[in-house]
Structure 1
């Protein structure tokens, strides 16, 4: 038996599987969120630990036994957890969707010589939301807390530390910090020196790297006893939620695309070599399975659709009827869905905008379609950046948005790709569990490849597959062009 744990923004999920990927038990516990008008989005790391405890116990209560051989942890990317010399958390973790640090990100890019210089020197352009600007924000706004920093961890690394007592990093999640060179796979001290003045404080606070073949360790005796799990249970390196979602959708070889529609939306595809983008729109991340995972993230996705539905007094059940009743382009109504600022395009201070409103199109159905199209067109634009040289034939869609048949069909029609949905909805959990199997197999002298494990454990739900309707392709092309035109007019 193997465990996958996914610590996301809204909550922590746990999944127990057998060696064939069959679910044996699952659990969930929600997280609170600290939000401020300044753009701050924060959580206490202790909330993640308590949610892990709850979700793991729920999953084990459903499982036929507690003979878990290995577990893996998936965590929300870019979060900053800082510890003092006694390993105590100094302050709440600033999250991936925290836009309060936008001024610091701009200042840091300038300190490093500008976007082009950052790209040439480090292979990545820092964006608001990445971990690095949070450190500069701490120095400027909370200097006493900044001075106490002795350890810098990402969310999944903090949970690994709680589970095993060991601090370490892996390449996938580290590549989202912007103080990591994705080409040489090493921490970049000069980025941190620009923040702490070359004292070496921040660089010394970074954990060492392990490869995906290496376990972090085994469970601490106290943790094993609390859950009734074997102390010999291996904890794998884990990774960011997108990296684990890639593994959990079989995106471990070239030619597969994963699109995640959750609170944020991401699209990514495994590559054997780095994919570099000087504009910074494509995040040239490493994968957590030994390769690279170029990724585009938009910060506004299902949250925009949910808020639109709530404002109209509708529910998610009304999505199907609204899309069926309206044509591509929502009769000219365009929704730029930047309710939380935006990362791609890089508009951290943007706000949502409705354009093209007329007496004929200002209806609940068109508003719902416009919200869904705004979210969808934004992320499909990102997919075009990643796959600029090759059309996409197959796309696996995960996250809350994947549950809507009409939304899946919209994605298929607008992209021209066949859209499939994995049988296991919790791709982050499944990916973490598959990585745990991989690490366990290597540790015990019977190594298996990720491709082999994915072919065995990742299954597609055939009844939810959406094939593109070529008759609608031109209409969606026109709708996407109108979206781009509105974007240029308002933000250029």
Structure 2
């Protein structure tokens, strides 16, 4: 039995997997709070993550009705890009700045200028650094909190920190490391020169965690923590990885020909490559996968958070929101929303704000507002899909995961906007499932070095054919999508 943990923006999910049969035995969850502030500040205290880990794990064990001593391995999935800094005693120095934090936009631009713009960043790192990446957060911390910066002894990502909490060892895995902005995705090495540019003393270089391969174990549980969690003290803690990398494993996206779309707080699209196929389009991030290859990916900053904001504004529950969306026609009678509440990464508009267009006394209705936000966030994903396809990533169907994938109406809208059939995985919590699968892979490698990830995925990953949707109203949505593109271009000069 293996435990998969997914530490996301809104909460932590735990999943217990019987890797021999492929059955999910139990699940649990616990929520997080977001610390928001001016200028795009989005932070969380790592203590929230450890507390939620304990609660979610206890709930999963209770639902499964099993003893935690049977857990052979643990895999951790974490939200990408977050910055966790520790002092020499292993104490957290300040709240973690998250992937959706854009407070370091100015610092990111200065670093980007030093790299030679997006072209220079792509040439050097294989990715074009963006405000959400970890690297600009380090420069921001140096300038805004110099006393704390001087105490940095360890630089970790969220999943790295949880692995440290579990084992006492500071490590990072190539997939998650490739989203920091100080990592060369082609050579799979830290770019220490970039960190020396930020701090010539070498403090940041000395604080880097050791890199481990995806199939390698970080260690075993600290005995006192194993006792507190009620888990096997000999359980291996796998390398783990970023939530997108674990989501890829959890959807069987470990070989070319599969595209995964995640409908969470943010929206992501990614497909597997067996070589670093760096795209000249800076919005496509050619990250490393957590299965030995690469994972070209696009990420939109606004998805279910934007839907939720309209729901809160109109005081609707999810059922009421969906009913109103269904009442409005395709294109929301000319109402278009650019849902850039957190700025946006795809298209690259970190300082953008959300806006509504086309409102008249005839079309101003709650139904059209609900439809417009759902269509607006989907149009951002369509733009990203076109970029991925332009880089050679193709799939006959798109595999949907995340909370939004449970909505049949949204699935149909996605199929129509993308002009591609879509289907859900049986287990929508793919990142937690992927983390459990990776833990099983890591455990199998201990006694059988040739144990393959593919065989475990075949047993544990399945598609729910009852959720399959074919495109229908493609032409009508294409017209609405082109209206969205035209608005972005006229307002921001972007060609989205």
Q: Which residue of 2 aligns with 1:480?
A: 481
Per-residue deviation, 1:390: 6.0
Answer whether contact 1:393 1:416 (CA < 8 A) is retained.
no
Alignment of 1:91-490 (within 5 A): 91-196=94-199, 198-388=200-390, 389=392, 392-445=395-448, 447-469=450-472, 472-490=473-491
Answer whether contact 1:169 1:209 (CA < 8 A) is retained.
yes
Are 2:5 and 1:2 aligned? Answer: no
Answer whether contact 1:99 1:348 (CA < 8 A) is retained.
yes
Of 126-135 and 378-387, more deviation after overlay is shown by: 378-387
Q: Secondary structure at the match of 2:171?
A: coil
Structure 2's unaligned 5+ residue stretches are none
Answer whether contact 1:6 1:74 (CA < 8 A) is retained.
yes
Pair 1:446–1:142, CA change in 2 (3 A): closer
Please give the per-residue CA displacement for 1:392-420, whole angstroms capped at 9, x wherever unaligned. 42111111211110100011111121111
1-side partners of 2:186 and 2:263: how far apart? 28
Q: Secondary structure at the match of 2:469?
A: coil
Please give the per-residue CA displacement for 1:306-330, whole angstroms capped at 9, x wherever unaligned. 1112222322213443343333222
1-side partners of 2:28 and 2:426: how far apart? 17
2-side partners of 1:158 and 1:390: how far apart? 32
Of 278-287 and 442-451, more deviation after overlay is shown by: 442-451
* TM-score, scaled relative to structure 1: 0.97
Per-residue deviation, 1:355: 0.9
Answer whether contact 2:215 2:438 (CA < 8 A) is retained.
no
1-side partners of 2:435 and 2:350: how far apart? 31
2-side partners of 1:213 and 1:337: how far apart? 39
Are 2:15 and 1:12 aligned? Answer: no
Per-residue deviation, 1:62: 2.5
2-side partners of 1:141 and 1:390: how far apart? 41
The number of residue pairs the alignment matches comes to 489
Per-residue deviation, 1:155: 0.5
Q: Secondary structure at the match of 1:3?
A: strand
Q: Secondary structure at the match of 1:384?
A: helix
Per-residue deviation, 1:134: 0.2
Q: Which residue of 2 aligns with 1:90?
A: 93
Pair 1:390–1:99, CA change in 2 (3 A): closer
Q: Secondary structure at the match of 1:281?
A: coil
Answer whether contact 1:4 1:433 (CA < 8 A) is retained.
yes
1-side partners of 2:455 and 2:332: how far apart? 44
Q: Secondary structure at the match of 2:463?
A: coil
Pair 1:44–1:391, CA change in 2 (3 A): closer
Q: Secondary structure at the match of 1:465?
A: strand
Of 476-485 and 308-317, more deviation after overlay is shown by: 308-317
2-side partners of 1:51 and 1:269: how far apart? 30
Of 117-126 and 177-186, more deviation after overlay is shown by: 117-126
Are 2:34 and 1:21 aligned? Answer: no
Are 2:61 and 1:78 aligned? Answer: no
1-side partners of 2:322 and 2:88: how far apart? 54
Per-residue deviation, 1:2: 0.5
Of 128-137 and 337-346, more deviation after overlay is shown by: 337-346
Q: Secondary structure at the match of 1:463?
A: strand
Q: Secondary structure at the match of 2:442?
A: helix
* TM-score, scaled relative to structure 2: 0.96
Answer whether contact 1:319 1:406 (CA < 8 A) is retained.
no
2-side partners of 1:239 and 1:402: how far apart? 22
Answer whether contact 1:111 1:194 (CA < 8 A) is retained.
no
Please give the per-residue CA displacement for 1:302-353, whole angstroms capped at 9, x wherever unaligned. 1111111222232221344334333322221110000111111121111101
Pair 1:225–1:448, CA change in 2 (3 A): same
Structure 1's unaligned 5+ residue stretches are none
1-side partners of 2:282 and 2:184: how far apart? 14
Q: Which residue of 1 aligns with 2:53?
A: 52
Pair 1:313–1:46, CA change in 2 (3 A): closer
Of 434-443 and 109-118, more deviation after overlay is shown by: 109-118
Per-residue deviation, 1:14: 0.6
Pair 1:321–1:162, CA change in 2 (3 A): same
2-side partners of 1:412 and 1:112: how far apart? 39
Answer whether contact 1:168 1:210 (CA < 8 A) is retained.
yes
Please give the per-residue CA displacement for 1:59-104, whole angstroms capped at 9, x wherever unaligned. 1222323201111000010000001111111111111111111011
